[in-house]
Amino acid sequence: MFRREIKFSKYQGTGNDFILIDDRFGGAPEDDPNVIKQLCDRHFGIGSDGLILIQPSDEADFHMEFFNPDGSKSFCGNGSRCAVKFAVQLGIASSEKCSFTAIDGLHLAVSSDFDVKVKMHDVSEVSERGLDYFIFTGSPHHLIFAQQLPVEDLKEIARPIRYSEMYTPTGVNVNYIAPCTDGIEMRTYERGVEDETLSCGTGVTAAAIGSALKFNLKSPINVSTKGGALKVHFMKTGTEFTDIWLQGSAVEVFRGTYII
């Protein structure tokens, strides 16, 4: 029986963890959702909140192909910050400024020894859902605001929204946001992972934008997640947001070889 070896690195960005594979010369399992699910499985695989392939790009330093643990594709804010660190390690991106493409187009990034800032796309529309907001920041996010974060199991209270008819068929990420001493704090249920994650970069970005409108907070906004602190910078004109940057840590945890 033929067995294949896959070399990988494991990174985490404020507790959001990812498998990163150098796919510049092919051979990665992007055409096999079952292998992606296996790699991301925390009991029978490496375990992660997503799989990232680093591929060549004609218009940037590299292309980031992101897969959720269920094999679906999307843009990932924390994953892109980890991808930048990995690309610097591979020697294909500058340790200071670089660019990359993803499913939603071109992004810029600034890296340092301590953190990575990734430029997100402009947000020109914030939709009201009763007292809640819907914002698309590379991935779709439903935002629920309160004075305190819920203490309940997020799977139980978020799934009815994630699978609601309003968001059929693609579903939505569900975020709970509350003000805190130096900014906001939040919890996120991620589609594709189908569980609460310690952090979500596109969710943090959406939460900061929503909080600028809901709580009249100014840039930059500090965002506290279960996995750590991030910061969102932006320019606000009315309800339009430009020059949006997501900033936070990105750390290599370990490297290894997985045998399929």
- Which positions are catalytic? 76, 200
Angle between helices 77-90 and 201-214 (to 10 degrees): 130
The set of residues, in sequence order, having a beta carbon less than 8 Å from that of 220 and lying 6+ positions away, is 231, 232, 233, 234, 247
Return the half-sphere exposure (C-beta side, CA atoms, 13 A cut-off) of residue 229.
Answer: 9
Q: Which residues of 80-105 are buried (b: 16+ CB within 10 A; e: fewer)?
A: bbbbbbbbbbeebbeeeebbbbbeee
How is residue 137 written in tokens? 């920041």
Residue among 98, 139, 145 nearest 119 (CA): 98
Tell me the β-bridge partners of 185. Answer: 178, 224
Query: Dihedral of CA 6/50/114/122: which sign?
Result: positive
How is residue 115 written in tokens? 């953190």
Contact present, 77 and 244 (Cβ < 8 Å): no
| CA dihedral of 188, 191, 194, 197, whole degrees rounded to 10 | -30
